[in-house]
Amino acid sequence: MKFGVVATCAVLFFTLLSSSSYAGKLLQEYRGQADQYHHAQDYKKAYKAYFKLAKIGDHYSQDRIASMCANGEGKRADLAEAYAWATLAAEGGDEELVAKRDELLEQASNKTRAQKKAEKLKKKYGKLALEKKAAKREELTEGGACTNSRIGCS
């Protein structure tokens, strides 16, 4: 039940971020806070802050997590995990992020493991997965089944 509510909130937050200038400022503020934690070398807080944004589709934060995983900042270095997050970041189409993703795959000792991790993350936080969640949320809202309470939609 908790996961459903969290997922619904994330989709709603993502929808807000993509449709409002205020939300864009809020996104910049959250990124800035995460960047401050990272600059201060408080990697655990930075990772947590970037993760919140990364799981709602923020490519910048997904790239930052990929870098942190590659460098062992906030957790043990894991090139397969870094590649997985870089794959999500590259969904935005930025050529530098695509090149970084490809470089991380080349560096990974177990390319199959890295690709499996990437597919798992894409199913959960990828562009298509987030679009499906947003569409489902919109469908529930239009049908009147959503109460906007803490309980969620029926």
In the block, tokens 């090139």 appear at 79
What is 124-141 written as a DSSP string?
A: HHSHHHHHHHHHHHHHHH
Q: Which helix (H) or strand (E) holds 25?
A: helix 21-39
pLDDT at position 5 is 45
State how far the Cα of 120 lies from the Cα of 132, in Å rounded to an integer. Answer: 16
pLDDT at position 7 is 52
Q: Is residue 72 part of a domain?
A: yes
Q: Is residue 150 part of a domain?
A: no
Q: How do residues 29-62 score in pLDDT, each as one tens digit?
A: 999 999 999 999 999 999 999 999 999 999 999 9
Q: What is the CATH number of the domain that holds 102?
A: 1.25.40
| Structural domain range at position 112 | 2-142
Tell me the pTM.
0.77
Q: Is residue 154 part of a domain?
A: no
Q: Which residues of the chain have pLDDT under 70?
A: 1-20, 143-154
pLDDT at position 149 is 58
Contact 120, 114 (CB under 8 A): no
- Count of domains in the chain? 1
What are the residues whose beta carbons fall under 8 Å from the beta carbon of 5, sequence distance 6 or more? 150, 151, 152
* CA max distance for the chain: 50
